[in-house]
Each structure stands twice: as structure tokens, then as C-alpha cells.
Amino acid sequence: MTAENGISRRAMLMKLGLFLNGIVGVFLAVPIVRYLLSPVIREKKLGYESWLSLGGLEQFPAGQTRLATYRNPVVNSWDGETSDIACWVRNVDNQKFQVFAINCAHLGCPVRWFAQSNLFMCPCHGGAYYQDGSRASGPPERGLFQYSYKVEGGKLLIKAGEMPTPGQPVVSKAGGKATCA
Amino acid sequence: MRLIQKVGEWFDLRLQLGAPIRATAEHPVPRETASWFYVFGSAALTCFMLQIVTGILLALIYVPSAGEAWNSLQTLNHGISLGWFIRALHGWGSNFMVAIVLIHMVQVFLFGAYKFPRELTWIVGVFLLLVTLGMAFTGQVLRFDQDAYWGLGIGASIASRVPVIGPWAVNLMLGGPIIAGATLSRFFALHVFVVPGLLIAFVGVHLLMVLKLGINEWPMPGRVVRRATYLQEYHELTHKQGIPFVPEAVWKDILFSAFILVAIAVCAIHFGPFGPSGQPDPTIIQTAPRPDFFFLWLYALLSFLPPSAETPILLIGPAIGIIVLLALPFVAGEGEKSWKRRPIAVLTILLVAVALGTLTHLAEHTPWSPVMDAWSGQPIPAEFLQGRTALERHGALVFQAKQCHNCHSLDEKGGQRGPALDTVALRLTEDQLIRQVIQGGGNMPAYGKNLSPAETTALVAFLETLHPVNQKPARNASQAVALSESESEVSPR
């Protein structure tokens, strides 16, 4: 059975069926893509990046650099130990602090502090940083990442929640300023 | 016997598979391809099947949860009867699979198998290599230990360097803002569903083309591939002089596959499973993460690239490499197949092999990393201290206390990040030593702020003693002249 314009009824119906499937496919694809991209396009929920306490100021003596840990603000029960993050706190003079990310600015390995030579050294590719976080030697292109911080009620707080990487260096490169409590 | 035959006939009447399987098995292949050089493809497939079986066995116990994965690996290693063996088989099977895929690739490259009409077979093979490496990397993440955790950090740092979409790519890769439960879950999905699915599909197409187009004939110098005549020539090689694949050629494949399986099992028994190393606890920072064997060359490369060139090379390099591999059959689709008439092909393979081998060897020794405990764990050998003055020995103390030893070796003990200092006094004068210590430079941090003048004096006095007994330390030849001139000149110019 061929109609006058040369298109058979069956071919027409098949095309209609394919067209309908295409529409359904698009309807399904949108939520699927949205689901896949959820880590990227999620709204920055309250508490996603928030002020976290590193503990009382007495843990960070003036002139010294100490390791501190905090719990990531957004956690799931199955995250286990991975939600505890370390960082280096430098108390410059009790007024000014610096909070460095643990991740080397080269490729994210954990840097270690050597108080005797006042250097941070990275075990992966040999990056080294001075005590103020600036690059000393090795492959890193920049200094250590710094978190914004503030002092409130005798506690040191930092703004954290995202792993710093060369493409996304925490909140700001310069770090925050002390706000007196 | 008659019963078995009857059952077989019952099934074949319904399945209708006997005839096509027999035709496939007995398809003619060129006589010379029944060779030990032609066994690597089937061995790679055997490895893949072993990986599927052992992978499913591991999935019976493994928990793909960031909080529990490490514990479930411990249970596999210690709590389940022969769990360690299955893990070892899977780990060694992975190494063997990557190695055999690479050998297979070198063999087909040197035998010109990528030329007409097998261009697409080669291209699918390139994807198979990438997918195999993808399996190796994602599998390394599932062994959720310290190396896996910080390895993900390295991956994220590389991904973040992509212009514009870098930060997005990091979030997409990690499944969130940090390495956590979502990260392991998505790598589990990749390693167990997505990448194996691709691998099976690519293997199917690859094999289908090998059957449809025929195995690459043994290359003879002077037998040149031409699009117009090749198919006819190949038809003669197979149908006039050829032999049936089963049983004349297949027995070598079967024997070699069995040998590989035995080798994997022997390695698994002798060396045991890989890891897991320490718990994936980011607050434990006393760790020196290292990738698995087949990514060591990349690890080494990353420490040698100059900082300014690193991002472009890291992002563009792999793309160029893949494009070159994919373009190869289109650029050189005709011509000589024999490696005896293709010197550049042979040299390319040698160059790549030497480069990858050297980088891998370096990465096993990581001379670029400071030895983090050399200052406290590796004392200065006694011969550098005997007969020294008090000042010089104090300098040796400074050398240890200020962690110089972490980067500089004495008598091959200590770090290799900086130059060995056994004979440094021959290379640098006293003034140059002072300048180098205080200002750094040439990839050495400046120590001016961290050393008191007294410490610097002592350290340089110690470094001045580092020369062979029968050779004098370097001195500034103009110093004496300059000093005597300044003494003789009464008034400044």
C-alpha cells in the first residue's frame, strides 16, 4: 500500500515510532545527565564550605608551625577516615596566622614540616616551601595553598570544604585576615 | 559415547552453532603465522578472562565503601581462606595483562599489521590499550589505601590544570569537593561496570575483524602492501598455501596462554598480593605515595619536567601520543611490512622502550625526593669526621640538624635531590659555598634566614673539608691578587 506521495503507511508509522522514541530518549537523557553532573552543578548547599574550628589557640604556640585536623563539613556515614583532613597552622606572632593546605601545590601529596630547617618538604617529587608557604624549590609552580581564617572565642577557625588543587586554590590565594574576637 | 553424541546433536539442531564454530576454528591462515610471535593477542585475552573470574571472586567480599574498603581488603588477605591468593592473582594478572598488551602492540607494529586493510583493527587496539590502562588505574584506586588516596589527589591535581573546565573535572572525578565515599563508589562503578563493558565490546570487535580480515601474514622484505592487489595476494596465501587455524596454529596459543597463567600463579604465590599499604586516612601524612608499576614512568616524568612546561606537556602530550597512534595506519597504510626494511619503526620502538625503562627505573629509586629521615636516621660516615677541628665537627652537626642530609648524600648515604657533597670543596670555593648556603639557587632553598652566622661559618668550614686527601679545595685564583692589590693601593680609585 503506497500513498500518492510515495510514502507507505508502514514506513510512516515506523518513522513516527522512531520520532516518539527520540522524544522519550531526550526526556530521559536530561535527568540522567543532570544526575551525572550533580557533583558539578549542585547548588552550594549551606555548610558546603564553612567555618571550621581547628581548636583553641593554645594549641598553636607563637612562632611555631603545628599540624591540625578538621572534619570536612559535608560528610556521609560511609566516608570513613577520608573526611578527616589535615592542615598546617603557623602562628606568626599571635596576631597573624597562616593555615596551609596539606596538599603540595604541585600534585597534591602531603607536605611535611621540618622545624629545624623551617621548610615544608614533599615526599613525591621533592617540592620544598619556606615557612611562610612560598615556593623554595622543586616542581611546584606556586606556594602552598592557604585557607582563610579567623579567631573567635579563643579558637582558630578556617574556611574549608574543598580539596585545593592547582586549578582551584581554595578560597583566595592570599588567605584571610584576622578578625579580632 | 553414543549418548554424548546424541545430546550434542539435540542441542546443535536447536542452537545451529556447530557448523559456524567449526568453520571459524578451521579457517585457513598463512602457513608462517603458526609462530611463537603470534601468541600475544590470545595471551592478553586469557589474562582478561582470568581478571574477570578473579574480579568476580573478589567482589564477593570486597566492600566498595570508603569507610570499609580497607578493612575488607584486610579480611581478604588474612580472614578468608586463600583470599590473599585471589587478590594476588588479580594484581599480578593485571600487571601481566598490561605487559602482554604492550608486547602484542610492539609485535603488530613491527610486523606492519596496522596496514591495509587492518587499519580499524589497529585503531580498536589502541582503544584497548587505553581501556586496559584505565582498568589498571581504577583498580589501583579500589585498593583503597594511602597510595590510592594520594594517587587520586595527583589525578585531581592533573585534571584541575585543564583550562576552563579544570575545577569541574575535579569535582566530576571525585564525585564531590573532596576525596571521599563518593569517589570510591564511582571508581568502583568504572572498574567493575563501565570500563570492562567497553573492554568486552572492543575485544569483540577486535576479534571479529581478525577473523573477517584474516591474521596478518608473516612480513617478507620486498612483499609490499598495495591497496589494489593486497586482498588477492592474501587470499592466495591463505587458500592456496594456508593451514587450518585449528589445530595447526592454535596449539602454540594454548601452550603460551597456559605458560602465562602458570607464571601469574607462581608470581602470586611467591610475591603475594599488592598491599594494601596504610589506611586511607588523610591525617596520616608520614607517607610517600607511589603509583603502581605501569604508571611509575609518568611519576618520574612529573618530577623532571620544568614547572613552566609541565601543564602544557601533561595535557597536550597524551593527546598527541594518542593522535599519532590513531593516525599511523592512515599515514603508513601501504608499503613495506617487514621490520627489516623499516629502520625508523625499529628505532622508534627502541627509543620508547629505553625512555620508559629509564623513567621507570628512576621512579623506583626516586632520586628527586628528599630522604625524609636522613637527617635523623643516617649519620655522617666516620671518615668525614675524623681529624676535624671542633668548628668543622660543629658544621657537621649543623649539616644533620638542618636536614641538609635529606637532599645531599655523603658516601652515597642520604638524599639525592641535590648533588652529592663528597667532593664539594673541589667544585666551590669558600665564598661560593657561603653564597649557595645563604641564598640557595639552582633548585636549592635559601637558608639565610634559618642559619645564624656562626652556624653558616661552621657548616661552610665542614663543607670545605669535603675533598680527597691528595687534592686541594677550590680557591679563588684572583683572591690573593685582589687582596695584595688592595693592600698596595693606599687610596681608593
Distance from CA of B105 to the nearest CA of A (A): 31
Domain assignment present for B61? yes
Residue B277, class by beta-carbon neighbours within 10 Å (0-12 exposed, 13-18 middle, 19+ buried)?
middle
Spatial contact of B92 and B294, defined as CB atoms under 8 Å apart? no
Q: Binning pLDDT at 50, 70 and 90, where does residue B364 land?
A: confident
State whether residue B490 is helix, strand or coil. coil
Give dist(CA B40, CA B128) in Å, integer. Answer: 14
Query: Which of A77-91, B121-135, B361-375 has the largest mean confidence?
Result: B121-135
Query: Read out DSSP for B19-52?
Result: HHHHHHHT-EE-GGGSSGGG-HHHHHHHHHHHHH
For residues B256 and B137, membership in a common domain is answered with yes
Spatial contact of B431 and B460, defined as CB atoms under 8 Å apart? no
Provide the mean pLDDT of chain B.
92
Q: Mean per-residue pLDDT for B366-374?
A: 85
- pLDDT greater than 50 at residue A175: no
> Which pLDDT score is estimated for A3?
53
Question: Does the beta carbon of B174 lie under 8 angstroms from any beta carbon of chain A?
Answer: yes
The reply to whether omega before B117 is within 30° of 0 (cis) is yes
Is the Cβ pair B179, A163 closer than 8 Å?
yes
Domain assignment present for B434? yes
Q: Mean per-residue pLDDT for A44-53?
A: 72
pLDDT digits (tens, 9 = 90+) for B323-332: 999 999 999 9
- pLDDT greater than 90 at residue A91: yes
Domain assignment present for B3? no
For residues B254 and B394, membership in a common domain is answered with no
- pLDDT greater than 80 at residue B237: yes
Q: Which of A144, A121, A64, A110 is nearest to B444 (CA)?
A: A121
Lowest mean pLDDT among A76-85, B27-36, B362-371: B362-371
For residues B350 and B392, membership in a common domain is answered with no
pLDDT digits (tens, 9 = 90+) for B218-230: 999 999 999 999 9
For residues B194 and B325, membership in a common domain is answered with yes
State whether residue A70 is helix, strand or coil. strand
Is the Cβ pair B181, A80 closer than 8 Å?
yes
User: What are the helix and strand counts (H, E) for chain B?
Assistant: 21, 2
Is the Cβ pair B174, A84 closer than 8 Å?
no
Is the Cβ pair B153, A108 closer than 8 Å?
yes
Is the Cβ pair B177, A74 closer than 8 Å?
yes
What percent of chain A stands above pLDDT 90? 52
State whether residue B152 is helix, strand or coil. helix
Question: Does the beta carbon of A35 lie under 8 angstroms from any beta carbon of chain B?
Answer: no
Question: Does the beta carbon of A39 lie under 8 angstroms from any beta carbon of chain B?
Answer: yes
* Partner-chain residue, chosen from A67, A102, A130, that has the shortest CB–CB distance to B445: A130
Give the CATH number, domain containing residue B415. 1.10.760.10
Domain assignment present for B6? no
> Which pLDDT score is estimated for B340?
94
CA angle B359, B364, B367 (to 5 degrees): 80
Last residue of a domain, one of B335, B365, B395: B365
Q: Mean per-residue pLDDT for B307-313?
A: 86
Query: Read out DSSP for A71-111?
Result: E-SS--GGGGGGGEEEEEEEESSSS-EEEEESB-TTT-PBP
Q: Mean per-residue pLDDT for B96-112?
A: 97
> Which pLDDT score is estimated for A178?
36
Domain assignment present for B19? no
pLDDT digits (tens, 9 = 90+) for B394-417: 999 999 999 999 999 998 888 888
> Which pLDDT score is estimated for A173?
40
> Which pLDDT score is estimated for A179?
34
Is the Cβ pair B156, A126 closer than 8 Å?
no
Compute the Cα dihedral for B201, B205, B210, B216 and give only its sign: negative
For residues B303 and B432, membership in a common domain is answered with no
Q: pTM value?
A: 0.89
| DSSP letter (8 states) at residue B383 | G
Q: Mean per-residue pLDDT for B81-98?
A: 97
Last residue of a domain, one of B330, B365, B400: B365
- pLDDT greater than 50 at residue A65: yes
Q: Which amino acid is at A76?
A: N
Is the Cβ pair A77, B67 closer than 8 Å?
yes
> Which pLDDT score is estimated for B417?
86
Range 400-429 of B in CB contact (< 8 A) with A: 401-404, 406-407, 417
Domain assignment present for B491? no
User: What's the number of CA atoms in the CB half-sphere (13 Å) around residue B275?
Assistant: 25
Distance from CA of A137 to the nearest CA of B (A): 5
Range 94-123 of A in CB contact (< 8 A) with B: 102-103, 106-112, 114, 116-119, 121-123
Count up the domains in chain B and report the number: 2
Q: Binning pLDDT at 50, 70 and 90, where does residue A61 land?
A: very high
Question: Does the beta carbon of B450 lie under 8 angstroms from any beta carbon of chain A?
Answer: yes
CB-CB neighbors (< 8 A) of A138 in chain B: 368, 443
State whether residue A136 is helix, strand or coil. strand
* Partner-chain residue, chosen from B172, B406, B443, that has the shortest CB–CB distance to A121: B406
For residues B239 and B323, membership in a common domain is answered with yes
CB-CB neighbors (< 8 A) of A81 in chain B: 66-67, 279-283
For residues B292 and B433, membership in a common domain is answered with no
Give the structural domain span for B451.
374-480
Domain assignment present for B419? yes
For residues B324 and B473, membership in a common domain is answered with no
Alpha carbon B192 to chain centroid distance?
22
Spatial contact of B146 and B280, defined as CB atoms under 8 Å apart? yes
> Which pLDDT score is estimated for B493?
47
Compute the Cα dihedral for B69, A106, A65, A55 and give only its sign: negative
Q: Mean per-residue pLDDT for B257-271?
A: 98
Range 52-81 of A in CB contact (< 8 A) with B: 67, 69, 72, 74-81
* Partner-chain residue, chosen from A81, A117, A167, that has the shortest CB–CB distance to B403: A117
Q: Mean per-residue pLDDT for B93-100?
A: 97
- ipTM exceeding the 0.90 mark: no
Give dist(CA A149, CA A145) in Å, integer. Answer: 13
> Which pLDDT score is estimated for B303?
84
Sheet holding A84-91, edge to edge: A65-71, A84-91, A97-101, A146-147
Q: Mean per-residue pLDDT for A140-165?
A: 91
The nearest alpha carbon in chain A to B164 belongs to A167
For residues B361 and B380, membership in a common domain is answered with no
For residues B378 and B336, membership in a common domain is answered with no
Q: Which of B106, B130, B110, B107 is nearest to B332 (CA)?
A: B110
Domain assignment present for B24? no
Which three cell numbers mark B202?
572492543
Is the Cβ pair B160, A106 closer than 8 Å?
no
What percent of chain B stands above pLDDT 70? 99
The nearest alpha carbon in chain A to B415 belongs to A126
- pLDDT greater than 60 at residue A176: no
> Which pLDDT score is estimated for A43?
57
Range 272-291 of B in CB contact (< 8 A) with A: 279-283, 285-289
For residues B189 and B234, membership in a common domain is answered with yes
Distance from CA of B34 to the nearest CA of A (A): 47
For residues B293 and B422, membership in a common domain is answered with no
* Partner-chain residue, chosen from A82, A83, A116, that has the shortest CB–CB distance to B149: A82
What percent of chain B stands above pLDDT 90? 71
- pLDDT greater than 70 at residue B168: yes
- pLDDT greater than 60 at residue A171: no
